[in-house]
Structure 1
Amino acid sequence: MAIFDPKQVVVLLDGKEISDWSDGSDVINATNQVDAGQLIIGANGTGVFIANPDKSGKLTLKIKQHSADNAYLNKLFNQQKNSIKTFMPFTLAIRDLINDDVVTATKGYFTTPTPYTRGNGHNAQTWTIVFEQMTINLEQGVQ
């Protein structure tokens, strides 16, 4: 039987730990932005695989509504929005301390602004950051 503990996953943006997750099974989502390539089949039925050199990735984080992590990310989002010239792009490091999965990324920028939503319940803030290069290394994990 494999084991996993979400409290043993560390997310660092520029070395600052982000950890005040909302509820759900997808509060941390790192993915490559494009397919690794495309298979093209010619009129004679033979094919050629065209590798895609794009190594970009996208990170989506879901944070509790009134979290200090939200305030931190909002401050950085506003800095990027108001002065892109002085904004320092993000570096990312995610590590599953039990299973040794690792995600690293460089040159990250916010894309989709998180909305201001309030009502009769909790509203997670969803942050989206894209990276010029992202590497995802998955391990077998502890058995």
Structure 2
Amino acid sequence: MTKLTKSKIDALEIKSKDYFIWDSELPGFGIRVFPSGRKKFVLQYRHSRKSRRMMIGRHGAITLDQARKLAIQALAKIGQDIDPLQERAERRDALTVKELADRFEAEHIAVHLKATTAKEYRRNLKLFILPAIGRMRITDVTRVFPVR
């Protein structure tokens, strides 16, 4: 185990099977070298007694310093008993605003509202909300205005 540097990463040889080189300064941080020559930064950690391996990013797409900062941020979350891989999966699997609007229409508008109010709700969804943010994940929707 040695400290990872850009020159050491560039000099890594390609083998017939993928392999890992671990950083001596940051525990669990390393790089995975694939037989194709592709190199990816990884972080291996334990959460809830399970060993987990998280891909941070591809070498070349992000720098070593960026990957190290992302690994430190992930380790900080792990220290707070938050699993970064679980967090990533939840964000990926979150509903879109369109899916939520369809559910809202079926479970609330159609059941609880009078006809004219329901018509106005559907119009607002169709004209304003769905064109603007319909494809966004609900976890990515934030307040645009500053809170006073």
TM-score category of the 2 structures, normalised to the smaller one? under 0.3
Q: TM-score w.r.t. structure 1 length?
A: 0.21
The structure that has the greater radius of gyration is 2
More strand by share: 1
More helix by share: 2
Q: Of the two structures, which has the highest relative contact order with CA contacts closer than 8 Å and spacing of 6 or more?
A: 1
Q: TM-score w.r.t. structure 2 length?
A: 0.20
